[in-house]
Structure 1
Amino acid sequence: MILMDELIIAYLDNDVDHPYYLDIYTGQVILNMDEAYTGEPGIDWDDEENEERYIEIPKISSDQAFFVMTKFAQRTDSDPEDKLFAALNGYKPFRKFKDKLYELVLWDEWNKFEHKYAEEAVQSWLERFELDYNELNEKYNNNLPFLQSEE
């Protein structure tokens, strides 16, 4: 897995109980939860250095996710009957949209579309914080052998 993939996973995980942070010293993505859940100790926020070391990774909002689904429904030629739009109107639009993706065999196309949107959002976030992705990715890759040898 590459750093961008991990950042995208964190961005698309809209569970508020899953706070993800980017370690700007190592380039690692950290899920900051109880050690019993992750197998790793959480971030020690009592250490003042950590306030500068870790940056919270934003999450896609429900409104943004709905917007992305709408944009996908607008652009796909594989849905001439507008079943995706119909799924977005009414009760449980997220669930119905995903069901229609399976029905229309558009799941792979959707994943690519959503991934591209998320990558652009993550790139924009990195730019706002003036973080150099290439530098972070190099740190990330330099820490991979260490992390893999621990597993």
Structure 2
Amino acid sequence: MQLMDELIDTYLDNNFEHLYYLDLHTGQVILDMDEAYTGEPGIDWDDEENEERFIDIPKIDSNEAFYVMTKFAQRTEFDPEDKLFDALNGHKPFRRFKDTLYELDLWDEWNKFEYKYAEEAIQSWMERFQLDYNELNEKYKNNHPFSNN
């Protein structure tokens, strides 16, 4: 796994109890939760250096996720009968959308579309905070020697 893959997975994690931070010293993605949950000690926020060392990683919210599903549904080459739009307009649109993806055998196309959207969002976030991806990725690789290069 590469740093970008991990950042994208974090961005798409819809559990808002999961608080993720990017360690600017190591390039690692840190899940800051109770040690009983993660098996790792949480970030010591009393240490002032950590305020500069860690930056919170954004997460997609439900409104934005709905927007992405709508953008995908607009691609009529996948769904000429608008079944995805019908799913989005009913009760429990997220569940129905996913069920319809399976029904139409569009899961792979959806994952590629969602990944690309998330990748662009992460790149935009990195630009906004002037984070150098190549530098952070090198640090990430140094801390994950068995990851794919």
Q: Fold-level match, TM-score > 0.5?
A: yes
Q: Report the alpha carbon displacement of residue 14 of structure 1 after superposing the two structures with TM.
A: 1.8
Q: Which residue of 1 aligns with 2:125?
A: 125
- The number of aligned residues is 146
How far does residue 88 in structure 1 lie from its aligned partner after superposition?
0.2
Tell me how far apart the structure 2 counterparts of residues 76 and 22 of structure 1 sit (CA, whole Å): 37
Any unmatched runs of 5+ in structure 2? none
| 1:94 aligned onto 2:117 | no
Question: Residue in 2 aligned with 1:38?
Answer: 38
Q: Which position in structure 2 is the counterpart of 1:27?
A: 27
Provide runs of 4+ in structure 1 moved above 2 Å.
none
The 3 A distance-change label for structure 1 pair 76 and 42 is farther
Q: What does the per-residue CA deviation read over 1:15-64, in whole Å, with 9 as the maximum and x for residues that have no partner?
A: 11000000000000001111111111100001000000000001001111
Q: Which fold has the larger relative contact order, with Cα–Cα distance below 8 Å and residues 6 or more apart in sequence? A: 2
Computed over aligned residues only, the root mean square deviation of the Cα atoms, in angstroms, reads 0.9
More helix by share: 1
Unaligned runs of 5+ in 1: none
Contact 2:24/2:54 (8 A) holds in 1: yes
Which amino acid counterpart does residue 37 of structure 2 have in structure 1?
Answer: Y
Identity of counterpart residues, as a percentage? 79
Describe the superposition over 1:78-136 as per-residue Cα deviations: whole angstroms up to 9, x where unpaired.
21110000000021000000000000000000000000000000000000000000000
2:14 alignment partner AA: N
